[in-house]
Structure 1
Amino acid sequence: MASHPLLQAFKTNIPAFGAWLTLPGTFHARTVARASPHLSWIVVDCEHGLIPLVPGASESIVAIQGAKSGGGPSAIVRIPATGISASSSWQIKHALDGGANGILVPLISTAAKAKEVVADSRFPPLGRRGFGSPFTHGIWDISASQYLESANESILVMIQIENKEAVENVDEIAGVEGIDALFIGPYDLSISLGYPPPSPDPHPDVEKVIQKILRAAHSSQKKWYVPFFV
């Protein structure tokens, strides 16, 4: 049935190392996917990267999945629409129909928006996602019926906590059923709170806020991630 490396890491509670893909093209994606045997996931960045959601994301997903025999790292697509926009639904549809193993949605500030993201990522009766792509299940290397049976349990839904409103609502956001992980955006979080961006570490007051987010994630048994840049 449907599975992938990051999902297995989440289930077994082991650290999962990943990378950020910001440049388009099959060969870029394949090179990153083959860069290390320790990679569990790659984020295809359609927000701040130079990768268009259509068709660039789907091309990157296929390249990542085919980078190693038996399947490459998990392909997670960061959609370009932010959580404060009403236009994220169709972008989630395109990312998942393109074969993504999960989505990452920026700037989620309320539990209501987090619930919308979950609904757009799940087939009925758990959500409102429609099925129609003849390619999606093939990218996962399973049948259409197998994909429909297992996608709700296999697709990871991750959201970014990166502004003041999100911090104020973080306990409610973390408690939303169907959210798998909270990503902390240290740059936007710092700016939103009135602090300079990390250089390289966040301001001590921002670090306290980050710890608050981590506690909320732990309390709701959600995974968390704080990116670092080199």
Structure 2
Amino acid sequence: MSTHALQSAFKANKTAFGVWLTAGGVFHARTVAQASPHLSWIVIDCEHGLIPLVPGAAESIAAIHGATPNGGPSAVVRIPATGVSASTSWQIKYALDAGARGVLVPMVSTAEKAREVVSDCRFPPAGRRGFGSPFAHGNWGVSVPEYLATANDNISVMVQIENQEGVENVEHIAAVDGLDVLFIGPYDLSISLGYPTPNPDPHPAVEQAIQKVLQAAYGAGKKWYVEAAIFSIKG
């Protein structure tokens, strides 16, 4: 069975180092996955990267999970649609049906949207995810019954706080059951609040907003990370 290094780091309360994959290709994804034994996760960026959700993300997931025989980083997909107004449900379904260990949803600004995201990541009765993929279980190295029995507890759910509304609602978002990580996008957050983008540090007012998100994450027992050149999830 392929390992879920990111979730293992969560359970051990350790910092989880990860990288961003913005260009597609099986060999590229495999090379990144083999780059360091200290990587816990790789985000396949289908929002701003050059990787299509289908079939690019699916091929990258398979390459990452099969790159190291003793278990490597967890493949997480950042879906293309934002959480502001677009429907993210079908894109989450595509990512999970391809075998992703988690999803990252951009621009989540309300607790209602966060609950929708969590529901789309869980099979009933915990959520509303449908079953039918012939690939997800194989990508995890388990049987179909094993996948159905373990998927709800082994999919990491992450949302991005990137605008003023999200900051205003962050305590409610952080309190959503089943949500694992609050991701802070300092560039979009700076733009949303009317300040220059970080160069290299964010504007003091943006830093205050970031600290508010971090405190909300701590208060709710959730993990957090701030977008940077090297990514690490903390909690």
* TM bucket, shorter chain: over 0.9
- 1:75-224 equivalence runs, <5 A: 75-224=75-224
Q: Distance in 2 between matches of 1:41 and 1:213?
A: 22
Equivalent AA in structure 2 for residue 8 of structure 1 = S
- Give the residue type in structure 1 aligned to 2:109: S
* 8 Å Cα contact 2:2/2:139 also seen in 1: no
Q: Per-residue CA shift, 1:164-187, capped at 9, x if unaligned?
A: 000000000000001000000000
**TM-superposition CA deviations, 1:20-55 (whole Å, max 9, x none):** 000011111111111111100000000000000000
Per-residue CA deviations over 1:125-180 (Å, capped at 9, x if unaligned) read 00000111111101000111111111111000000000000000000000000100
Partner of 1:72: 72
Give me the whole-angstrom Cα distance separating, in 2, the residues matched to 1:86 and 1:3: 32
> Which residue in 1 is equivalent to 2:25?
25
RMSD (Å), alpha carbons: 1.1
Match of 1:226 in 2: 226
Query: What's the CA shift for 1:4?
Result: 0.5
Please say if residues 97 and 136 of structure 2, whose CA atoms lie closer than 8 Å, have aligned partners that are also in contact. Answer: yes
**What TM-score, normalized by structure 1, do the two folds share?**
0.98
- The SS at the match of 2:146 is helix
**CA deviation profile, 1:72-119 (whole Å, cap 9, x unmatched):** 210000000000133210000000000000000000000000011011
Match of 2:9 in 1: 9
Instruction: Point out which structure has higher relative CO (alpha carbons under 8 A, 6+ apart).
Output: 2
Measured in 1, the distance between the counterparts of 2:103 and 2:38 equals: 21
| SS of match in other structure, 2:126 | coil
Q: Give, in whole Å, the separation in 2 of the partners of 1:63 and 1:25.
A: 9
Q: Which runs of 5+ in 2 are unaligned?
A: 231-235
> CA–CA distance in 2 between the matches of 1:134 and 1:42?
23
> Structure 1 stretch 54-63 or stretch 26-35: which is displaced more?
26-35
In the alignment, the residues of structure 1 paired with residue 36 and residue 204 of structure 2 have an alpha-carbon distance, to the nearest angstrom, of 33
Q: Could you list the runs of 4 or more consecutive aligned residues of structure 1 that deviate by over 2 angstroms after TM superposition?
A: none
Q: Which amino acid aligns with 1:104?
A: L
Contact 1:2 1:146 in 2 (8 A): no
**C-alpha separation between the residues in 2 aligned to 1:188 and 1:22?**
18
CA distance in 1: counterparts of 2:2 and 2:119, whole angstroms: 19
Secondary structure (helix, strand or coil) at the match of 2:173 reads: helix
